[in-house]
Amino acid sequence: MADKTKVTRGLPPRLSNTRKKNGYYYVLYHDKGREQAQSLRTKDRIEAETRFLGWLEQRQKDIISLTETDPIVESCIDIWLEQQVVNFTPGIQIRFKSLMKNVKAHFGEKRVSEVTRKDTQDYYKIRKSAKIGRNKASDSTIRLELSELRAVFNFMAKKVEPRSRRIDPRIIPYIDLPPDSKPRDRVVTKEEEDKYLNFAMNGNYNGHGVRPSNRVHRIQIFLVLAIETAARKTAIINLRWSMIDFTKKLLNFLPAGEHQTHKKRPTIPMSDLLINFLNRVYEQKVNDYVLTTTTDVTSGIQRVNNLLGIEGVSPHTFRHTWATRAAEDGVPMKTIADFMGDTEETVRNNYLHLSPDYLKEAINRRK
């Protein structure tokens, strides 16, 4: 893909000897939205045309050089999407494209060297006030967007191909990130979990905008998978039947041909409840996606919450709940990390204090 260059409005570069009424020929052109004039230092038409051709040739070389050494941000994002994000699942690719839409709106026309720390601070204020985007963004959303912009710049400096397109790391700006969001402490109670499972297995997901069907609805399928596997929302949405081994009772969340990212997608054993439920759903399948489509489930979970009278539960809450219960039940931190596809350090930081053996060695030490 060819790099994009900053588009300026106005006429293309042209030759004129009437600009300053002194008889000399000038090149008239636009730069940063303003018309500029550069003298060719001659009153001879033929000589002026020759020098004008040389000027155009040099300008083209300058544009190509600038595009490669200091590209505009929009071009960097597009290249990153084409070379890096293309390796992810279709659902994740769509998510990243959507995620970077607001980043492009604010930074897109700037060159990498033109982006300042203040620009990133301004972006935070603009996203918080909904001047960009449909709604006011949370700190965690803005942090994610700016973190991916940082990833784009690092990719352009270290990984982009061909190597001749790699930019000098010294022109990469410092990006201010909002502070980490406070941990979400909401845990689904056992009574609420029973409600979810009963609805998923025996209820009827219907209402305004829902097409009547005798099949188990995709939101019901998501609920059981989220409760039983502690998998991330995107991993469940992109799960295919070909990734489930009913004979070995294993579920592999990593699609064939995909590479593991820092958010690992593990292969995990399935509970008896999950096996029986998926066997039932399999008989109704319409394609290879377990949830039939890869559209988001957040609004669907909120509809179920309203129906069951439950508040404050998002798709991620089920993952947090599984880890919390496992830690409270004394499951080793490494086992929890392996099951969830997290690092042991992440699990320890978030859940070690819930283990029944936490700090026990620090008490009753008198002999």
pLDDT tens digit sequence for 144-181: 899 999 999 999 999 988 888 899 999 999 998 988 76
Nearest CA to 5 among 32, 36, 34? 32
Contact (Cβ atoms closer than 8 angstroms) between residue 77 and residue 112: no
β-pairing, 26-31 with 250-252? unpaired
Reported as a single tens digit per residue, the pLDDT across 278-302 is: 999 999 999 999 999 998 898 899 9
d(CA 259, CA 155): 17
> Most confidently modeled of 177-181, 272-276, 360-364?
272-276
Structure-model confidence comparison of residues 273 and 94, the more confident one: 273
pLDDT tens column, 299-308? 899 999 998 9
Residue 183 has pLDDT above 60, yes or no: no
Between residues 67 and 216, which one has the greater pLDDT?
216
4 or 111: which leads in pLDDT: 111
- Contact 110/139 with Cβ under 8 angstroms? no
User: Tens digits of per-residue pLDDT, 100-119?
Assistant: 999 999 998 899 999 999 99
> What pLDDT shows up at residue 261?
64
What are residue 30's DSSP bridge partners?
Answer: 35
Task: Give tens-digit pLDDT for 70-88.
Answer: 888 998 999 899 888 877 7
268 bridge partner residues: 251
Contact 188, 313 (CB under 8 A): yes
